[in-house]
Amino acid sequence: MAETATREFLHNLHELPHTVKDACFRLGKTPESEREESQATFHNLFLHIHSVRVHVRTLKPTLTFGLGLMATASFVITIITGVLLMVYYKPSTDLAYQSIKDIHFTVSTGRFIRNIHRWSAQLMVLTVLLHMARVFFTASYKKPREFNWLVGLGLMVITLALSFTGYLLPWDQLAYWAITIGSNIANSPRELTDAIGITKFFDPGGFQKRLLLGANYVGEDALIRFYVLHVFVLPLTLVTLLGVHFWRIRKDGGLAKPEDPMGGLAEWGGERRTVFQPLATKTYGLMALVKGKRPPVNRGPENTVMSWPHLFWAELSVFMITVATTLILSFYSDAPLKELANPAIPENPAKAPWYFLGIQELVSYSAFTGGLLIPVIVVVGLALIPFLDRRPGGEGTWFGTKSERSVFWQSFFFALAVSVGMLAFTVNYGWLRSWFPNIHQLWIIAINPGSLLVLIFAAWSLFILKRKDSVRLAAVSLFTCFLVGFTILTYFATVHRGPNWHFYWWPSQWPVH
């Protein structure tokens, strides 16, 4: 007896490499049949958020440009590098700056990791914005994807909040003054409540600022709050929402695509065949239990291919492109670190990161209108799109409905002319306060270059609505105006605003001090 147990034990020991491998990799080999390929997909926690088959159209790089994936990839990179930075970073006003300096100058690979964190964060903001634009211009927010559009907006807001909170952590001049400005923007409803004289009774601005800073100036309490938000609360919320986002894509039947793109036919095995139509009376496995246009089971229905390997190779390559881009940027360009925060003298000019500079330009007209009102209007407007434009059509196709492309270009040049004209006027002639020094602040809150831009864009979109008799085209015109306006303001504030927020043609002309 004892002998057999010993032998069994030795045998198991001998087989150990195989049995462990089999336990970890269920399939144990590269899948060969479609059956095995589908098993490879749904036996893996990380792969099974994909359906087993995907439509060939959604695999075409020019549908999505992989933008959502790039955002995901840059987020993963920021998480990994962020945890590494946490090893040395100390969230206290006395130590923060020195610890970043240590990371940058003494910790081995510290500077590289810090650069990667910076660059991937920027890349994430950029790709999220572009991803939203692609979802919009391919009309992919339409039924049943309204909810996912909202989830996406939530993700965008959290992405911006992440980069805002991260900006304070180095506790250098740039950080200190950008957050001073940012928290006073949270305080800016006071501009309105002061102007009508009710701040004593109703002070939402003060409340928001206290919530953000835990004090009425940027200090220790603010740093701890931003730190907690940046390394825990916001990433966790983002991961959770991202899970919902991905899950919804799956439940909404994969990426948006035109209704029956090939007119009832499908390419299969080199020939065209009639599309497989699932029967209402039949059950096609688990997938048939959920409502919606899922890729049906069975072979060769409507131009789908196996996710393994087609989709996964595509995803891996987008991922690697993102990694390569951040690595190259981080190798050649260092994240900035200014002098230690000095509450007595601001940076001049004190600029926020580039994606907030559009808002900073608006804020230079009116803190409340530019810093809160217009951003809120924009986010609410974006959120309403799928609920105001409900007529199906154009899903999953760039500029899919009639005359969309021409409305896009018309709106593009219209918005370009209006934004540039407005900026040129403001730079040359100033605004109400320079003409009527004693004017009531309410006038400036209501009428300033920012609010006028919003009004003109809205009027243009109404004009398109009437003229083209199409809600989608009105939405296209408004969204295009928003994109162009945002880009121009961002560009303008980045390049053409110098010390004292004066206009300069180039940064090289800034006076030295």
DSSP 362-416: HHTT-HHIIIIIHHHHHHHHHHHHHHH------TTSTT-STTHHHHHHHHHHHHH
> Closest by alpha carbon to 167, among 151, 180, 155, 186?
180
State the binding string over 213-232 for other proteins (x if CB under 8 A, else -). -xxxx-xxx---x-------
The entry of other proteins, ligand HEM, none near residue 71 (CB within 5 to 8 angstroms by kind) is ligand HEM
Beta strand spans in 195-337 (E): 265-268, 271-274, 304-306
The entry of other proteins, ligand HEM, none near residue 284 (CB within 5 to 8 angstroms by kind) is none
Minimum distance from CB of 252 to ligand HEM (Å)?
Answer: 6
Report the amino acid identity of residue 314. Answer: A
Whose Cβ is closer to other proteins: residue 130's or residue 340's?
340
Please count the residues of this chain forming the interface with other proteins, following the rule CB under 8 A.
45
- Residues 226-265 touching ligand HEM, rule: CB under 6 A, are 242, 245, 249, 255-256
Whose Cβ is closer to other proteins: residue 184's or residue 411's?
184
Whose Cβ is closer to ligand HEM: residue 58's or residue 115's?
58
211 contributes a contact to other proteins by CB under 8 A: yes
- Residues 119-178 touching ligand HEM, rule: CB under 6 A, are 128, 131-132, 135, 140-141, 145, 148-149, 152-153, 155-156, 159
Q: What are phi and psi of 201, to 5 degrees?
A: -95, -30
The entry of other proteins, ligand HEM, none near residue 140 (CB within 5 to 8 angstroms by kind) is ligand HEM
Distance CA 411, CA 409 (A): 5
The entry of ligand HEM, other proteins, none near residue 355 (CB within 5 to 8 angstroms by kind) is none
Other CB atoms within a 10 A radius of the CB of residue 11 amount to 10
At residue 425, the 3 state secondary structure works out as helix
Q: What are phi and psi of 197, to 5 degrees?
A: 70, 35
> Closest by alpha carbon to 490, among 337, 342, 296, 357?
357
Whose Cβ is closer to ligand HEM: residue 91's or residue 485's?
485
- Residues 381-440 touching other proteins, rule: CB under 8 A, are 430, 433-434, 437
Distance CA 437, CA 126 (A): 40
> Closest by alpha carbon to 298, among 308, 306, 289, 290?
306
Instruction: Write the secondary structure of 391-405 as one string of H (helix), E (strand) and C (coil).
Output: CCCCCCCCCCCCCHH
Stretch in the footprint of other proteins (CB under 8 A) among 88-96, 297-305, 366-374, 404-412: 366-374
In this structure, are residues 84 and 108 in contact, taking their beta carbons and an 8 Å threshold? Answer: no
Whose Cβ is closer to ligand HEM: residue 159's or residue 193's?
159
Distance CA 174, CA 337 (A): 8
Whose Cβ is closer to ligand HEM: residue 134's or residue 190's?
134
Site of interaction with other proteins (CB under 8 A): 177, 180-181, 184-185, 188, 191, 194-195, 207, 210-211, 214-217, 219-221, 225, 343-350, 360, 363-367, 371, 430, 433-434, 437, 441, 444, 499-502
Site of interaction with ligand HEM (CB under 6 A): 64, 66-69, 71-72, 75, 128, 131-132, 135, 140-141, 145, 148-149, 152-153, 155-156, 159, 242, 245, 249, 255-256, 396
